Amino acid sequence: MKKLFLLDGMALIYRAYFALSKVPRLTSYGLNTGAIMGFTNTLLEVLKNQQPTHMAVVFDTAAPTNRHIEFESYKAHREEMPEDLAKSIPYIYRLIEGFNIPLITKDGYEADDIIGTLAKKAEKEGFTVYCMTPDKDFGQLVSENIFIYKPARMGNGAETLGVAEILEKWEISDVSQVIDILGLWGDAVDNIPGIPGIGEKTAKKLIQEFGSIENLIANADKLKGKLKENVINMPSRG
């Protein structure tokens, strides 16, 4: 079986860094190696327990994407990377290269864009694909052959999310509806606003009832009060 693991490099590095931030691992010359150690442990865990036939680690670049250009506030609230974490990045790049694992970047595209594209292309080539990313958006890409893989953490074992798990988690009937829920709810992590007054619970309820944002808009007259007003006035999704 062709088994491809696609790792969101920066997300895993941040995860490792903050997991050990209260007990930093410092070298004799002051380098904080927590992120390096944590990332390495995750990599070894996947190689040993999952035994992928293929693997790649994907990173963002500093170049802006269309999201940054078209929506000025996109991720604008995020703090700069901690200095000691930034110093770890070159070592992690060398580590990945030492394992002979491809390291993929492309200006104008986020790591998630690349992972999603590769996952869908690999599926057509007969691969079973595991996306290692915390991004909620990936729920829409899950299929019989594409999974979200969450590595072990804080004593909890690794978790694999397939179609059944995504449908249960989001309380929907089709994985494509994940993006409809997020469109209504917004995404605070990326500084993307949803419709005022709609949180996760209301977004799920509306999509359960109407099936999609398009159908919700078409039937906005069935809503009441402020919710009706906000849906009617919601900006176009382009």
Convert the pLDDT of each residue in 160-202 to its tens digit. Answer: 999 999 999 999 999 999 999 988 987 766 566 778 888 889 9
Q: For helices 9-19 and 111-124, what crossing angle results, to 10°? A: 120
Query: Which pLDDT score, from 0 to 100, does residue 68 have?
Result: 47
Other C-beta atoms within 10 Å of 218: how many?
Answer: 11
The answer to whether 106 and 61 are in contact (CB under 8 A) is yes
pLDDT tens by residue, 26-43:
888 889 999 999 999 999
Classify residue 79 by its DSSP letter.
P
User: Is the domain of 84 the same as that of 145?
Assistant: yes
Query: Which pLDDT score, from 0 to 100, does residue 54 have?
Result: 98
- Six-digit token pair at 133? 């990313």
User: Is the domain of 103 the same as that of 39?
Assistant: yes
User: Is the domain of 208 the same as that of 117?
Assistant: no
Domains contained in the chain, number: 2
pLDDT tens by residue, 41-75:
999 999 999 999 999 999 988 777 665 445 555 45
CATH number of the CATH domain containing 7: 3.40.50.1010
User: Is the domain of 163 the same as that of 181?
Assistant: no
pLDDT tens by residue, 199-212:
889 999 999 999 99
> Where in the sequence is the domain holding 218, given as residue range(s)?
177-232
User: Is the domain of 214 the same as that of 110?
Assistant: no
237 occurs within a structural domain:
no
Predicted structure pTM score: 0.86
Classify residue 99 by its DSSP letter.
T
* CA distances to 2, 55, 58 from 103, in Å: 19, 9, 6
Domain boundary among 170, 190, 219: 170
User: Is the domain of 226 the same as that of 137?
Assistant: no
User: Is the domain of 54 the same as that of 90?
Assistant: yes
Give the residue carrying structure tokens 């072990």: 152
User: Is the domain of 227 the same as that of 155?
Assistant: no
Residue 154: partners with Cβ closer than 8 Å, 6 or more residues away: 19
The answer to whether 9 and 104 are in contact (CB under 8 A) is no
Q: How many degrees, rounded to 5, is the angle at CA 236 between CA 231 and CA 72?
A: 115
Domain boundary among 170, 193, 215: 170
In the chain, which residue ranges form alpha helices assigned H by DSSP?
9-19, 34-49, 66-70, 83-86, 89-98, 111-124, 163-170, 177-185, 200-210, 213-218, 225-232
Give the pLDDT band of residue 156 (cuts 50, 70, 90): confident
User: Is the domain of 42 the same as that of 109?
Assistant: yes
Q: Which residues of 123-145 are buried (b: 16+ CB within 10 A; e: fewer)?
A: beeebbbbbbbebbebbbbbeeb
